[in-house]
Amino acid sequence: MGRKSTFSDQKVFSAVSNQVGSGVGFRIQDLAVETGISIGSLYHRYQSREGLLAAAWLDALRSFHTVFLAALDTPGREAGELAAMATPRFSRQHRGKAIILCLGRRETMMAENAPQELLADTEEENANMKRGLEIFAARENLSHQACMHGIIGFPLAAVKLYLPHTEVPTSVDHYVKAAYRSAIELNL
- Structural domains for the chain: 49-187 (1.10.357)
Listed in sequence order, the residues at least 6 apart from 112 whose beta carbon sits closer than 8 Å to its beta carbon are: 119
Long-range (24+ apart) CB contacts under 8 A made by 71-80 are 72/132, 72/133, 72/135, 72/136, 73/132, 77/140, 77/184, 79/136, 79/140, 80/136, 80/140, 80/142, 80/147, 80/150, 80/151, 80/180, 80/184
How many CB atoms within 10 Å of residue 55? 22
pTM > 0.85? yes
Measure the CA dihedral 179/185/187/188, to 10°: 170
Output the tens digit of pLDDT for each of the chain's 188 residues.
Answer: 455 557 899 999 999 999 988 877 788 999 999 999 999 999 999 999 999 999 999 999 999 999 999 999 999 889 999 999 999 999 999 999 999 998 877 777 888 888 999 999 999 999 999 999 999 999 999 999 999 999 999 999 999 999 999 999 999 999 999 999 999 987 76
